[in-house]
């Protein structure tokens, strides 16, 4: 069983904000694999089933915590325990927004720190480890006169919203590659400028 967590804030007020792009990535992954985030478990929207890729099948659970972002870790800890993940280092992937990456850029890593992201920081603190995979989705830096909090809690710009579906689709493919082929292989394919990626 693989557990994929999309970080965000609960409710319609935040659904379309930059800070919730992690949730939107796993929603796109769910749609691509015929899964649904329609259960309520672990204080989260939850879904599970089989994802398929090139004839291979994989048991996957999807988790979108419905706590606020900086309290995301408790839901993750509950799910990791209840689902009996064999090894967090190989069976957990967390997806979230990153203001230090240009809009639409992806960065997969097998481990690391929180990089200032409060949701990821809480996951690391509650798990008491940071050796799990993460997929960062770039949402760009705020304007000079805007603070980071205001930037991530706003909706994407009109131009970004036009491009967003393609970027979400690419992020879902990156997540699929990480689950089926491993993070290292997925990094080689997806940790680059999407404008230079012929498969975008």
Active site residues: 19
What is the Cα–Cα distance from 145 to 163, expressed in whole angstroms? 25
The backbone torsions φ and ψ at residue 147, rounded to the nearest 5 degrees and listed phi first, read -85, 165
SS3 34: coil
The tokens 């850029």 sit on which residue?
105
- List alpha helices for 55-155, DSSP H: 72-83, 88-91, 118-127, 148-152
Whether residue 95 contacts residue 24, with contact meaning beta carbons closer than 8 Å, is answered with: no
Sheet containing 44-53, strands listed edge to edge, beginning at the edge strand earlier in sequence: 39-41, 44-53, 56-65, 2-6, 92-98, 133-138, 106-109
């Amino acid at each position: 069983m693989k557990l994929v967590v999309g970080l965000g804030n609960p409710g319609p007020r935040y659904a379309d904000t930059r800070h919730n792009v992690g949730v939107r990535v796993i929603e796109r992954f769910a749609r691509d694999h015929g899964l649904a985030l329609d259960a309520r478990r672990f204080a989260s929207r939850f879904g599970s089933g089989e994802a398929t890729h090139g004839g291979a099948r994989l048991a996957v659970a999807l988790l979108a915590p419905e706590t606020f972002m900086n309290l995301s870790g408790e839901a993750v800890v509950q799910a990791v325990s209840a689902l009996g993940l064999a090894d967090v280092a190989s069976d957990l992937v967390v997806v979230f927004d990153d203001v230090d990456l240009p809009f639409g850029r992806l960065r997969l890593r097998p481990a690391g720190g929180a990089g200032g992201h409060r949701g990821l920081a809480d996951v690391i603190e509650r798990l008491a480890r940071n050796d799990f995979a993460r997929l960062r989705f770039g949402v760009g830096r705020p304007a000079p006169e805007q603070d980071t909090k205001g930037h991530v809690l706003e909706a994407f710009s009109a131009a970004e919203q036009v491009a967003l579906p393609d970027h979400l689709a690419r992020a879902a493919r990156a997540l699929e590659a990480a689950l089926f082929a491993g993070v290292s292989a997925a990094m080689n394919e997806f940790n680059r400028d999407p404008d230079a990626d012929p498969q975008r």
